[in-house]
Amino acid sequence: MSLTHWISGRMFNLVHGRNLVYNTCWEDPRLDRVALELGPSDNVLVITSAGCNALDYALTGPNHVYAVDMNPRQNALLDLKIAGVKQLDYETFFSMFGRGRAPGIRDLYRQKLRDHLPPASRKYWDRYYRFFDDRR
């Protein structure tokens, strides 16, 4: 392993550690959608971050949105948001992702979200669904 690779790995762990770094995006992807004129034949590549931009780009109906991130926890968050969009009503979704708290998160996660996650994301959220506990 080269010194550069070792330093890069150490810096990544210093910054990200075992943390979920971004829980929301602050950019305005609406401007990007207008500027890029995304259409049904377009493929979009985006850094996952909190997943908000990837979900926003999907609103235009491109052929595919590819979301990638160095931090696998960010991809797990996007997977959880996708499951939430599909499985939760607006109020519950907003409570969870807008306010950061979801009453009864244990049952909500197990009954409505868990089975709709890819295995790696399921493994992560099985351990950390409590991030959304309304009693913290």
| Contact by Cβ (8 Å): 133, 103 | no
Could you tell me if residue 69 is inside a domain? yes
pLDDT digits (tens, 9 = 90+) for 86-103: 999 999 999 999 999 999
Given pLDDT bands bounded at 50, 70 and 90, which one contains residue 4? confident
In the predicted structure, residue 33 carries a pLDDT above the cut 90: no
Q: What is the pLDDT of residue 16?
A: 63
Q: Number of folded domains in the chain?
A: 1
How many other C-beta atoms can be found within 10 angstroms of the C-beta atom of residue 17? 10
Q: Domain of 93?
A: 20-132
Could you tell me if residue 113 is inside a domain? yes
Could you tell me if residue 4 is inside a domain? no
pLDDT digits (tens, 9 = 90+) for 39-88: 999 999 999 999 999 999 999 999 999 999 988 999 999 999 999 999 99
Q: What is the pLDDT of residue 20?
A: 62
Indicate the DSSP class of residue 27.
S
Could you tell me if residue 115 is inside a domain? yes
| Contact by Cβ (8 Å): 74, 49 | yes
